Amino acid sequence: MELPTSVAALLIAAFAVLPGVPGEKVYTVLVGWDWREDKWWRTLRLLAFSLVGLSLYSIIAPFVSAPLPTYISPRAIEALQPTQIGELAVAFLGHVLGAAISGGAAGYAVKLLARVTSRSAYFSAWDHFVNSCAKGHWVTVGLSNGQVYAGYVDKADVSVAASERDIILREPALYNEADGMYRTTPYQTMFRLGSTITSVAAVSDPRDDKRITSAGESLFREDKTSGSE
């Protein structure tokens, strides 16, 4: 079955890019992605994960008697026979698995480097807040209409522009200005548009969170002796 040269070129391009998609997905699950990032950089990362995945599979394949990824050769693609499709599919799946592993390894490497250098593995302060600061904590959400809610973050959009950072709060409680308390509402979950949110804060848990100062303590004490004679 001879394939036209143009079709063969398209297939090779697909085989070069598509296997990197699972690797990119695993990577972004671990460290997120910068919504301001140029699309070309993301494409290059896809290609890098695909290339590493292809290398991993090509090294392992001979040891497990798996078919080699012959689809990377234009001549092999052009001379593809129907009986070879099964082997090609197995090799492609191995390629995809290798790319996913490389994406996971890259994500964990970024997180390890961030820990060693005492920096965040995420690309934005919001992503870091949602993934590292808000987990397991009550959060307070201030709205543009003046209302303030407290609840657990069930879902928050990350790696997006500020106006698109929508939040789903679990068991939301509304702040009552009359008595200065948060009062539970009958709602199980609440969806808030990112465009209506002005601030989000994670509430400290005294059992687990180590603080430099105590809540309510005056941070900058006035030195009453200064200036006295």
For residues 161-189, average pLDDT: 91
What percent of the chain is helix, strand and coil (3-state, nearest 5)?
A: 50, 15, 35
157 and 149 in contact (C-beta within 8 Å)?
Answer: no
111 and 30 in contact (C-beta within 8 Å)?
Answer: yes
Q: Between residues 2 and 14, which one has the greater pLDDT?
A: 14
Same domain, 155 and 178: yes
Which among 91, 116, 141 is the end of a domain? 116
Q: DSSP letter at 152? A: E
Same domain, 82 and 165: no
Same domain, 108 and 11: yes
Same domain, 137 and 95: no
Same domain, 104 and 147: no
Torsional sign, CA 76, 82, 84, 88: positive
Same domain, 97 and 76: yes
In a domain, 226, yes or no: no
For residues 55-77, average pLDDT: 81
Same domain, 100 and 24: yes
In a domain, 47, yes or no: yes
* Structure confidence by residue, pLDDT tens digits, 186-207: 999 999 999 999 999 998 876 6
Same domain, 140 and 45: no
Same domain, 102 and 22: yes
Same domain, 29 and 72: yes
Which among 88, 116, 144 is the end of a domain? 116
> For position 163, which CATH number holds?
2.30.30.100
| pTM confidence score | 0.60
* Structure confidence by residue, pLDDT tens digits, 94-149: 999 999 999 999 989 988 888 887 777 777 888 888 888 888 888 999 999 999 99
- The residue segments making up the domain with residue 70 are 5-116
Count how many domains the chain has.
2
In a domain, 96, yes or no: yes
In a domain, 12, yes or no: yes
Q: Between residues 120 and 26, which one has the greater pLDDT?
A: 26
Range with the largest mean pLDDT of 39-43, 94-98, 221-225:
94-98
Same domain, 104 and 130: no
What percent of the chain has a predicted confidence (pLDDT) above 90?
Answer: 35
